């Protein structure tokens, strides 16, 4: 699922990238402007921050730690980088991933 997100991002497909997130009002995304709650608010945040391919650029994501918490939860730590014409940026993330109805999805994302 995480690799599929990178593939979709690098196509400029934010909607495809978002398939890795829990489609629920209980999704939590924490970025530089504080927490956003819910799938729709998170999708809107991505579309505002990355309006075109000059801003999406090419994503690289490296998982530095993945810890199984139970049969349905993982805690992931990693780094991300965007090479883009609008200026390169990078940071770190922590994810709480849960298996829901047979699919692994991000239920909490703290990216900086």
pLDDT tens for the chain, 112 residues long, are: 999 999 999 999 999 999 999 999 999 999 988 999 999 999 999 999 999 999 999 999 999 999 999 999 999 999 999 999 999 999 999 999 999 999 999 999 999 9
Which residues neighbour 29 within 8 Å (Cβ) at sequence distance 6 or greater? 21, 35, 36, 37, 41, 42, 45, 108, 109, 111
Q: How far apart are the first and last CA of the chain?
A: 21
pTM (2 d.p.): 0.95
What per-residue confidence (pLDDT) applies to 83? 98
Which tokens is 28 given? 């939590």
What CA–CA distance (Å, rounded) separates 83 from 24? 30
């Amino acid at each position: 699922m995480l690799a599929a997100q990178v593939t979709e991002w690098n196509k400029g497909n934010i909607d495809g990238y978002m398939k890795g997130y829990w489609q629920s009002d209980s999704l939590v995304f924490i970025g530089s402007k504080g927490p956003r709650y819910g799938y729709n608010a998170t999708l809107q945040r991505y579309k505002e921050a990355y309006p075109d391919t000059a801003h999406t650029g090419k994503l690289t994501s490296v998982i530095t730690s993945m810890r199984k918490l139970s049969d349905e939860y993982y805690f992931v730590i990693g780094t991300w980088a965007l090479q883009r014409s609008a200026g390169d940026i990078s940071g770190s993330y922590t994810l709480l991933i849960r298996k829901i109805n047979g699919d692994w999805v991000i239920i909490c994302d703290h990216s900086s």
